[in-house]
Structures are given as structure tokens and as C-alpha cells.
Chain A
Amino acid sequence: MSEPKKVGRRTFLNYATAIVATGVIVGAATYLATPKGATTTVTVPAATTTVTVPGAATTVTAPGATTTVTAPGGKTTTGVPQGPLKIGLTTFLSGPSALEGSHAEATAELFVEEINASGGILGRKVELVKVDEAIGTDALIKAVRKIVTEDKVEFITGLVSSGDGTSLAPIIEKELFVPTVYSTATTKALIEDVNPNPKFIFRASNYDPMECIAAARIVVKYFYPDVKKVAGINPDYAFGRDEWAIFTAALKKFKPDVEFVYEAWPKLGTTDFTSHISALLASGAELVYSSLFAGDLMTFVQQAGPMGFFKKIKFVDSVCGSIYSDLKKDWFPEGVLAGMRQCWWTYPPNFPFREQFFKKYFDRTKKYPIYTGIGTWQGLMAFKNAVELGYSLLGYWPDADTIAKLMERTMSMMTPVGYRYCRPEDHQTVGNQIFGVTKHVPEYDFCQLDPLYVYPPEEVTPPPKVKTLDWINSW
């Protein structure tokens, strides 16, 4: 019940105060939007005309003098569209996973700066349109829809979360039709269940079966061959579920007598692992397999260390690579089997490409790049090469369909971490899978790996079109 209205002066003052207050608030909000280390989305209001016929593919019309109308199945026939080339970067820009996502952002920015310094792609300057994955899957889908249909983004890269990857896939393949490279999003569900015959979507990083199977092999052969009791702690979403399922299947195949004594499923972003740590310690496990990454991994290790966890239990984490230059000696223990995916700062040795690239990156960010960064870079290069190749063959800027087709070939390339091959059947890119056991070394403040285990992709990857679990069962 609100109090009775008071007329006259009071009401006027109310209005005035309210308007001023709202103005101040909105002004403050806009002011807050200016960068303070925060990210700004670069959006140029486009004067575009879109002609959509129900049932046809949505058209992408470039702003400027040339208006192109694409009928389904038709081709654009103008040279190079005018106006900037907008590239969408969807990655974690905030929150605990930002430790992983920031590499995608940094690599993309570096790439764009260099490309624009040399004139852009076929003369078109590149602009990044950033979307923060931390806003949640639902909001992300809405945002991606917006940047494609409204901002006319022509390529999307950077995506990190497996959950977002599987959710976004049908929308991109069936509704938006934009070439997309997931930098990470490594769940096998993407190419086995959700999107087995991709057209527009590519995945740049090694995916889950590779690290899980490599981990199982290393454990059985080198790390802990007599292990009997194994427990797991994995984040409760697509990625964590995937990892545990594959690792346990592979391990069981190698060692049928192994027993899985406990599984913890903390929510992504949990800040208090003490109960989980106690439960793991109480379960009698000898080895714990984890796919916790970035902020969660940090919190877990910092809470587990003082509780004596690493004295009693051998620890395996498949994605230490998410923060490898932050694994400082003073809190991260030795003797952990750490997974790096495709990216370790000294591998391949004596490789100038890697040395230059990593040095440039380190000078800028004070960290070494991780798989999200290399994946984003690879996607951007593939796109650029596809566009240039298409142009050189056809004489005009190719349409989205053609670019996607060409990317099937241009995606395979020599990267700063070695050669990576993209399988045309499912657009999955594979390369060396790196693991190592952490060691404290006087020269460096972050943990080094000794011994280092590098598996070539053929040894740890199921063949295309074969489901991982079926493949493991067939051994």
C-alpha cells in the first residue's frame, strides 16, 4: 500500500528528483562502461538492408554502396565488400574461467593488430566484436544471434566452454550459417552426438578422448602402474562428465582390476572444496583424476595442499595447461601428472616459429599462450587463408558456404606448436598431445615438466566417425 499522493509542489519535486537521479544513474552506468581494464564491444551501427524470404538462408549484406542480395543457392558477384570485416570473439572475459579465456582474447587482438597493420584482409580492416561467455549459455546464444543478424559478423572464434559449444552448434549450423572455429569446447559429444556432419563449425584444440586416453596410458605405463583405487573430481557439466567417462573407460580397459571409489561433481566455479577434499581423502583413493581447470584448479590445489592431499594421493589433471605459466612453485606441488593439450612453452624444441610467437605473446601479456590462444589463432589464420584462396580462384570475396568449404583445407597448418591436421569428416583438428610430471626447478618460478610425454595424435585419437567409447571397447 503506498501512501496517498500529495499534490502540487511535492509531486513536481518528485519528478524532478527522479529525472535527475535517473540521469545520474544512467550517466554513471555509461561512464562505467568505459574501459578500466573492462572490455568494450566494438559495434558499428550498420546501414544494411536485409532481404529475408521465409525458408531461405539469411542473407549477409555488407554495408556501404554495394548492396548484395543472395538468393538461396546463388552467388555474390561483386568484388570485395566495402566496410570493415567484423569477427566475433566469444570467450570468457570475466570470472574464474577468464584465466583460460583471456588467452583467446589476447591472441585475437594480436592477430587483428598485425593484420590491420598490413592492410587488413584483402583490404578490409578487421574489427573484433566481443561477447563474454560468462553471461551464461542462454544469454550467449541470444548474443551470438544478435552479432550475426544485426552486426553482420562474418566469422566467429574463441569459444571455450564445452557446454556452450554443443548448445550453439545447432543454432549456427541451422540458423545462422557463419563459419565458426571453437578454440576449445573439447567435449566429444560435439562430433559424436550433436554435430557429426559439420559444415560451418570447426574445432581447433585437441579434444577430450586424446587427453583422457593419453592420461590412462601414462598412468598404467609410467606414473602409477600398480594403482588399484581411483577417484575423480570433475566439474559438473559436459566437459567434466565427458572426461571422467572416457578416462574410466580407458583405464578399465588397461587395468580391469582397478576400482573407482568416489566421484565428486562440484559445480563450475565452486569456491570451497574442503568437503570434497575430505571425501576424497576418506575414500581411500590412491590416484585422483581431475579435469578441474583455471580458477577452480587453483582453488582446489591451494585448499588441498595444506590438507596433506598431495602427500597421500597421486594427482592427475588433464588441463593444467589452462594456467601453466601460473603454476607457481610456492603453491603447486611436484609430482602431479599435468595435461597440457597441444601447448607447452618449450615444445617442440628448437623451433623458431614457436620461439618468436611465444616471445611476442609473453612480452605483451607476461604469460605464455595456452591452447585457447593457439586455437583462436589457428582459426583466424584458417579463415584468412580461406578468404584469400577463394578470392584468388573466383575473383570475388567468397560467400559463407564457400569459405566453410575452403576452411576444411586451410585449417590444417603449421602452428607455433607444430603441425596440426584438421579432419575433413568432422572438422576436428588434431596434433601432439602433451603431458608431463611437474617438477620444481631453480631457474623458473613456475613448475616445469620432467619427464615430458608427447603422444602423436594417431596413438590417442579415435578414427573419424568412430565413437570414442566404442573404440575403447574394441581394443
Chain B
Amino acid sequence: MDAGFLLSFLFNTFFYFSILISVSVGLTLIFGVLGILNLTHGAFYALGAYFTISIFSYFTGTSNPVLYTILLIVASFSVGVIGMLTERLLIRPVYRLAQEYQLLLTFSISLVIYDIIRYIWGVMPYLHREFFSSLGYVEIAGSIFPLYYILLIGMSLLSLLALYLLLYKTKIGLLIRAASMDKDMAIGLGINVKMLYSLVFGLGVMLAAYGGALQVPFTAITLGMGGEETNMAFAIIAIGGLGSLKGALLGAFIVSLVRALGVFYFPELELVVIYLVMFLILCVRPFGLYGKYERRV
């Protein structure tokens, strides 16, 4: 095992980790604050990717990386707004119902979104190459690393930082955390919890869309994309603990490590290993590694 191999292995793990954290942090945030397991996450991930590639297509010919980065964020933001609307219109009515209904509702919304994507964007794959190729690559220790991948890692980490700052250093972050800890008390104190819920849902969705958008420069965007990443996100938050941000990070790390190992050493069974890990953790610690103990309803 030489330095080049080790470097590229670590890089791979970190790279996949960066793709996953966006999605899983969004998912766990929504669960932590709203108490809903958001099954629409994958659909918004895909929507983010499609939005981004459509926006990019208006700018073919230019290859200014800064421009593309901004467009990416704009696209994710727009999808986040759509998420907020969805929450306001469709999900809010079911808060007072039992959890089964919430799960079912988010499940059905995801089906609808997938077919809307199919209707608007059609069935053929989409590609956008300029952004990626405009950045070039670096060579370290005999292995080649495209600069975009490094940019992606950076952007993921930045978004995490931004989220952290939002939640822990701003007033709104304080309100959100308050509402997640004790909803009724927060209402009692005069906080507009409904508005907060919409906001958080939109934020979570934006993170998911962001994850999808980041894929655009180097992946063929097709129907059914994001299925694997979404399943991974569920595995991650199950492993790390629903509602826990720290857990999401740890879970993402574990999953990306296991996947990288899987592809290198067990190419036949790559995906099974991840689900096995998820399964085992649910057996032993159903609340995940950092999950909060919940009263049985």
C-alpha cells in the first residue's frame, strides 16, 4: 500500500463524505426540529440537481467558476423555497395526526415530485461539462485530483460551518433549538413555531438540493438519480441518531469509509455492507450512536 494509494483512498472517503453530509444533515435537522422523517428528501435532492443543470444551461459558453458557484447556491435556495411552500401547504395539516400519516404523506409527495421532474425534464440524461473542465486538476504523489472535487469538499464544509453559525450563533438559531427541545414551551413564550417549522423545513430541503446540485458538474443527471444517496442518508441518520447533527457527521463518516472500503475490497457486495451496518446499529442501539432517548408513544 503506497502513499499514492492511501492518499487516493482517503480522498475518496472524504469526497463521498462531503456529498453525503449535505443530504444527511438536512434530513436530521428536519427530524430534530419538526419530528418528521422526511421521505421527500431524495426527491428534492434530484430536483436540486435538475434545477442546477437547467440554470447552468443558460450560461453555456462562459466558464467562470465563481459564477457557477453562485448559480449553484441560487438553485439550491430556490428549491429550498419550494420546500417551504410544500411544508406550508401539504405537511402542516398533518402535524396533529399520528406519525404514520406524516411518513406516508412525505412518501407520496416524493412520488409526485419525481414524476413532475420526469414531465418537465424528460427521460434523457443531461450533462454539463464546462464548469468541471474549466477548473482543471492537480497532481499529488502520482495521483490526479480534479480541482472541482476539492472545491466540492470545500463547499460542503463551508455549508456545514454556515449551518453551525446559524444554529449556535444567531438569535434565530436559538429559537430553532428552543422549538426543537420543547415545542409547547416555545409556543407559550410567544415564538412563532409554525413559521420556524417552515423555515427549518426549507433549510433542510435546501441542503438536500445543494447536495444534488454539487453532483451536476461531474455526473450524468438522469431519472432515478439520488436514490442511492438518499438511502445512504437514511442509513447515516439511523446510525448516527435521528435529530443529532453530531450523529449525522459521524454516521456520514462511517458510511463513506465503509463504502470506500467496500469498493476496494469487496466490489461484489459494496452496498450490502452499508445496510448491514445500519441494520446492526439499529439492533444494538435503536436510537443511533448519538440519538436522544424518546418516550414510547
Write out the residue numbers on chain B whose beta carbons fall within 8 Å of the beta carbon of A330: 129
From 117 to 140 in chain B, residues with beta carbon under 8 angstroms from any chain A beta carbon are: 118-119, 122-125, 127, 129, 132-133, 137, 139
From 203 to 240 in chain B, residues with beta carbon under 8 angstroms from any chain A beta carbon are: 215, 218-220, 222-225, 228
Write out the residue numbers on chain A whose beta carbons fall within 8 Å of the beta carbon of B19: 272
Q: Is A299 a contact partner of B219 (Cβ separation < 8 A)?
A: yes
Size band of the interface chain B makes with A: 35 or more
Number of A-B contacts (CB under 8 A): 113
A272-311: contact bitstring with B at CB < 8 Å (1 yes, 0 no)? 1011101101100000000000010011001100111001
Q: Is B222 a contact partner of A282 (Cβ separation < 8 A)?
A: no
B260 at the interface (CB under 8 A from A): yes
Known: A1-B98, A271-B222, A307-B146. A279 touches B267 (CB 8 A): yes
B107 at the interface (CB under 8 A from A): no
Q: How far is the CA of A408 from the CA of B169 in the complex (A)?
A: 77
Q: Is B260 a contact partner of A265 (Cβ separation < 8 A)?
A: no
Size band of the interface chain A makes with B: 35 or more
Q: Is A298 a contact partner of B12 (Cβ separation < 8 A)?
A: no
A32 at the interface (CB under 8 A from B): yes
Stretch at the interface among A88-96, A161-169, A362-370: A88-96
From 36 to 85 in chain B, residues with beta carbon under 8 angstroms from any chain A beta carbon are: none
B144 at the interface (CB under 8 A from A): yes
Q: Is A276 a contact partner of B220 (Cβ separation < 8 A)?
A: no
Write out the residue numbers on chain A whose beta carbons fall within 8 Å of the beta carbon of B260: 275
Q: How far is the CB of A243 from chain B (nearest CB, A)?
A: 16
Query: Closest residue of chain A to B222, judged by CB?
Result: A96
Q: How far is the CB of B91 from chain A (nearest CB, A)?
A: 17
Write out the residue numbers on chain B whose beta carbons fall within 8 Å of the beta carbon of A176: none
Task: Choose among A93, A264, A267, A298 the residue that contacts B125 (Cβ–Cβ < 8 A).
Answer: A298
A306-324: contact bitstring with B at CB < 8 Å (1 yes, 0 no)? 1110010000000000000
Known: A96-B125, A282-B264. A274 touches B12 (CB 8 A): yes
A3 at the interface (CB under 8 A from B): yes
Q: Is B143 a contact partner of A269 (Cβ separation < 8 A)?
A: no
Q: How far is the CA of A295 from the CA of B125 in the complex (A)?
A: 7
Q: Is B220 a contact partner of A295 (Cβ separation < 8 A)?
A: yes
Query: Closest residue of chain B to A262, judged by CB?
Result: B267
A2 at the interface (CB under 8 A from B): yes
B14-42: contact bitstring with A at CB < 8 Å (1 yes, 0 no)? 01100100000000000000000000000
Interface of B toward A, CB cutoff 8 Å: 4-5, 8-9, 11-12, 15-16, 19, 96-98, 115, 118-119, 122-125, 127, 129, 132-133, 137, 139, 143-146, 148-149, 215, 218-220, 222-225, 228, 259-260, 263-264, 267-268, 271
